[in-house]
Amino acid sequence: MNQTRTQVLLLMLMGVVILLMIAILGLFIRMNQLQQEVLAALEPLQAMRRAQGLEIGTEAPAFTLPDATGQMVSLGDFAGQKVLLVFSSTQCPACAEVWPHLKTFSERGEDVQIVMISLGSPEENRQLVEEQGFGFPVLIWEDSVARDSVLLPH
């Protein structure tokens, strides 16, 4: 009787081990499916990260946008100058970390004109200019300008 009971317990234990192995296999398959779904969802973001903008020295597409005060500014206004186009957002924490560096760079008198195109309302951008003390134009964002500069997917 003892031997029969041991065999039954051993069979039950083997059954539990087999069920656990099946559950682990199921979890592995599901995790693989989830990983594929996450990677597929992130693909558009990866494409944006790969977009490097225009090659250095490439002429940017012409545009005219209002600045933070409502005055129209054209890229053609800076003809013959080296221009650093900066795309930013008033709500972007990473952008906020860059702003003091842009201000310092612009104040050094380098041979480069900064033109920032900022996502945000005109009021938010006026406040940004006042708070940061920017001496360079801050223009109101337009998607087509960002897209033409190869920053957003077409």
Q: Report long-range pairs for 104-113 (Cβ below 8 Å, ≥24 apart).
A: 106/134, 106/135, 106/136, 107/135, 111/81, 111/82, 112/81, 112/82, 112/83, 112/84, 113/78, 113/81, 113/82, 113/83, 113/84
Is 95 among the residues known to form the active site? yes
- Three-state secondary structure call for residue 12: helix
Q: State the catalytic residue, choosing from 95, 114, 119, 138.
A: 95
Indicate which residues carry an active-site annotation: 95
